[in-house]
Structure 1
Amino acid sequence: MQTQVFKADKRGTADYGWLKANYSFSFANYYNPENLHFGVLRVLNDDVIEPSKGFDTHPHDNMEIITIPLSGRLAHKDSMGHTSYIESGEVQVMSAGKGIFHSEFNGSDQEDLNLFQIWLYPNAKDVEPRYQQISLESVAKKNELYQILSPNENDAGVWIHQDAWFSMGQIDAQWAGSYKVKKEGNGIYIMLIEGEVQIDGQILKQRDAIGIRDASSIEISANASSRLLIMDVPMK
């Protein structure tokens, strides 16, 4: 097993006034040649967007885009005809495929929006663009690691064009358990949303992350009530 810890305060940052961004990987004006991506995981942005502010209509192609609001709600419009709000406790995916346009704004005129936006390289190019949004209530289980994304249309959570699986956990202090890697050769990138956990002897605190390679399973224990996101992704 090979591990690398990424401390929260070592992420790239940007303050645009209306947007305060934390970049786990090189993005926009933040460039670190030693931190471009983790396997097919290309982007993990931790954004705070002011009320009623956001991103005007812009294009994407050949990328799997996953959005997870942590607090607040996102107002979304796209060229496929979707107009929706994505709330905290939901997950949205867009397969950009051969090309889409969309806009994203804070859906509140009073409260900040905090979200993760995640991009994965797809395993098929120029697919027909698609959109999916679900509530996590249907899959969430307290003190368990529950799946929110997979490559399988009929599996739990949303699905994407990539051999990747995402899981989340809301776990109490003193919880201990394991995560089994879904596909041989995949790597694991874990972002601790809040709390404190121990993984492979490493202590992670809020917004710390760890990348793990060459493992078949991972042991996780919670030093405090914690919430985490596990991304199980191809390394090539």
Structure 2
Amino acid sequence: MQAGAGFDTHGHRDMEIISYVLEGTIEHKDSEGNVQSLPAGEFQLMSAGKGIYHSEYNGSATDELRFLQIWIQPNEFGKEPGYQQKNFGRSSGITTVATPDGRDGTLQIKQDASLHQLILEPGTERSFEILEGRNLYVHQVQGTLQVGSSSLDAGDGAKVESETKVLLANRSSEKVTALLFDLP
């Protein structure tokens, strides 16, 4: 998003909206009284519930804003709106960001889903366990990630089904960042 650009006040209902800032800072304001700045590396979860109005924009006059916005239909409808924001750091490995119960300081999402941040240094790998009846969706954010036998570049996605474990590897010379969604 170009400097100074944004989305005027608009409404949403019954949706879990996750924003993840890659570069720059989002300025957020909503009808529940939340006025926040969301800098690069932070996650925001807005539960629209029975209805919320908000605006978001790039508050910088010079810097571009790049962010991902993920929309997930909730498993509870007509509930009170909510807002959560947190920086989970940039440590290598798998960091849990959102869970249905908000355990261990994660954002609490109204869905049977979990979101994880994956950061791999060059030449490293991690295994991700997939419980029976679950699936994994990988959204590649930065760098090139090996997901099993497939290679993902920034912007690519992959769904892993009918597996109990998947190997996630960085075979490149640059740091890799991806989002991992554990879904039914």
Q: State the TM bucket, normalised to the shorter chain.
A: over 0.9
Q: Deviations over 1:26-78 (max 9, x none)?
A: xxxxxxxxxxxxxxxxxxxxxxx111111111110111000000010000010
| Residue in 1 that maps onto 2:19 | 67
2:106 and 2:78 map into 1 onto residues whose CA distance is 23
| Residue in 1 that maps onto 2:70 | 118
Which one of the candidate residues 178, 185, 197 is aligned to 2:145?
Answer: 197
**Number of equivalenced pairs:** 182
Query: Which amino acid counterpart does residue 125 of structure 1 have in structure 2?
Result: F
Query: Which amino acid counterpart does residue 229 of structure 1 have in structure 2?
Result: L
Which one of the candidate residues 210, 218, 224 is aligned to 2:158?
Answer: 210
- Kindly report which structure 2 residues correspond to 1:24-173, keeping only aligned pairs within 5 A, or say none: 49-137=1-89, 140-142=90-92, 144-173=93-122
Where in structure 1 do 4 or more consecutive aligned residues deviate above 6 Å?
none
1:201 and 1:93 map into 2 onto residues whose CA distance is 32
| Partners of 2:120 and 2:169 within 8 A in 1 | no
1:196 and 1:162 map into 2 onto residues whose CA distance is 29
SS at match of 1:155: helix
| Partners of 1:147 and 1:156 within 8 A in 2 | no
1:184 and 1:59 map into 2 onto residues whose CA distance is 37
SS at match of 2:104: coil
CA RMSD of aligned residues (A): 1.3
Query: Which amino acid counterpart does residue 178 of structure 2 have in structure 1?
Result: L
Q: Deviations over 1:97-139 (max 9, x none)?
A: 11111011012111010000001011111111111111123xx
State TM-score, norm by structure 1.
0.74
CA 206–154 in structure 1, closer or farther in 2 if over 3 Å, else same:
closer
